[in-house]
Amino acid sequence: MKANLVVHTQSHDYPIIITSQCDMAKEIAPYIKGKQVMIVTNTTVEKLYLADLVAGLEEDFEVMSVVLPDGEQYKTQQYIDTIYDALMDNHCSRDVTLVALGGGVIGDMTGFAAASFMRGVNFIQIPTTLLSQVDSSVGGKTGINHPKGKNMIGAFWQPQMVLADMHTLTTLPQRELSAGMAEVIKYALIMDETFLDWLEDNMAALMGLDKVALAEAVARCCQYKADIVAQDEREAGKRALLNFGHTFGHVIETHEGYGQWLHGEAVAAGMVQAAQLSHKMGWISEAQLQRICTVLISAKLPTQPPSIDTQIALDLMQHDKKVKSGQVRLILLKSVGDAVVTADFEPKLLEEVLASCVPN
């Protein structure tokens, strides 16, 4: 089982290799520049894959590693500095290659460190969660969180390649697998209703870690994202569609505390809120709204956000990166498989959606 896709960007084209139980070192070696390699991982992934990756590389490269705590709450400037310290302490030069071995947090942080160390060095993505394989590892978005907003500090910096090994998904906790499925479902809702049909037919296999089904889902999602990134690398237009559910979801993550809700869980509840607003605007039917909730529930995802004061939620939305001239812009559904970015909605309807989860 092996599939290769290509992401086309202004800076360079790069492959996404989708495989199962591969020799990670052998796959990434052709994309390493220079002799120095710094692997960034976390305490969970370290125990599973770091030793084998180091052993596979150290014959040909000078291999170093830095291990960060595991969790969204560590996606901060303090732990970016830990990466910088390791690079400096090991006298890494401009031709060092950083390797992100882990989920979305590790990928975002490693990419941001690569974008900013010596004004930009080579990096490679080895995503080990479903969420990072289908979304965050592709497209070059990197960054860290700020206490007042998620992913508010960062840079666009494309990797040299992405290696998605389906075997790594077999070690995921159920909750992490479900969180990744939120991003998979997102692609179907914004781009392709036939993919939603496929997900409904194959959800049991996906949740049962069927590697063939997972590889098909990852390949489809990566192709959708690669197509969008090729058209809009820096999110000036169409790429914003990939944030469906994220404006609502980021409110949940920021309000509840990073790491309390997994990113995919927050996005799932956020997608329902976005769908509710789409329904209130007369764009999608009640049946379509229920279909969205049903497929999320089948992936063991939440469809109800936590209770957040409406004004607090509105204030947090003002920190969203899609805000222009003080106007919140949302990704909404004209129909299942057809999304738009718009600020043309009645504020009262948005307030009704936000208030619907707040107890009287």
Catalytic center residues: 119, 141, 183, 225, 235, 239, 243, 246, 250, 263
Q: Which residue has the tokens 């697998």?
A: 177
- For residue 197, what are the β-bridge partners? none
Give CA–CA dist 188/184, Å, rounded: 7
Measured CA angle at 220 (ends 98, 303), to 5 deg: 95
Instruction: Please count the other Cβ atoms lying within 10 Å of the Cβ belonging to residue 193.
Output: 15
Give CA–CA dist 229/306, Å, rounded: 32
Which pairs with CB-CB distance under 8 Å and at least 24 residues apart come from 351-355? 351/310, 351/314, 352/280, 353/273, 353/276, 353/277, 353/280, 354/273, 354/308, 354/310, 354/313, 354/314, 355/310
Tell me which residue of 110, 100, 98, 125 sits closest to 17, measured CA to CA.
Answer: 125
Report the length, in residues, of the chain: 360
Say how far residue 220 (Cα) sits from the centre of its chain. Answer: 15
- Compute, in degrees rounded to 10, the torsion defined by CA atoms 227, 228, 232, 234: -110
Q: Confirm if 269 and 305 have CB atoms less than 8 A apart.
A: yes
Give CA–CA dist 298/281, Å, rounded: 26
Give CA–CA dist 116/3, Å, rounded: 31
Give CA–CA dist 350/280, Å, rounded: 9
Q: Kindly give the pairing relationship between strand 162-165 and strand 14-19.
A: parallel
Tell me which residue of 291, 282, 343, 285 sits closest to 318, measured CA to CA.
Answer: 343
